[in-house]
Amino acid sequence: MAAHLHSLLPGVAVNTDTEPGPDRGAFLIGTERYRLENGSVEHVLLARLTAGQQGRPVFLACGQRSVTNQAATRYLAKHHTKLARKHGSGGNFCLLLKVVNSQAYGPDVVELVKDVTRAATTAQPKLTTSKDL
């Protein structure tokens, strides 16, 4: 997963610190930080990306917890026609989704936070450690 994020979504960083803290597991997309609130508010990136001019598309679901990955794939299955209309058959996109109250509803309640394609595909200055998130 880290290789896909680094090469295809250079504007995304994930705090992978093992020490507990409020930013553990947080996404940094461009200049915006999205924290994990375990069981309450969790985020997932859903992206359709191609590498190279004739590359085949890759769908990437990268969540803060496993339930968020399942939520993203369900969102894609439910909204694939709308996404194809909006982004075209060959269009790349990166959406930030929020899974609400997964402790009660599992992967069933998902909200689109915003389209983060531009921020996620634009390289950010190098961070020295994940604590810089």
Digit-by-digit pLDDT tens for the chain (133 residues) are: 666 677 889 999 999 888 888 999 999 999 999 999 998 999 999 999 887 667 788 899 999 999 999 999 999 999 999 998 999 877 899 999 999 999 899 899 999 999 999 999 998 776 555 555 5
Q: Where are the alpha helices (DSSP H) in 21-132?
A: 66-87, 102-105, 117-121
DSSP secondary structure of 19-30: S-STTTT-EEET
- pTM comes to 0.87
| CA-closest candidate to residue 99, choices 60, 49, 59, 43 | 43
**SS3 at position 133:** coil
27 CB-near residues (< 8 Å, 6+ apart): 12, 13, 14, 15, 33, 34, 43, 45, 64, 96
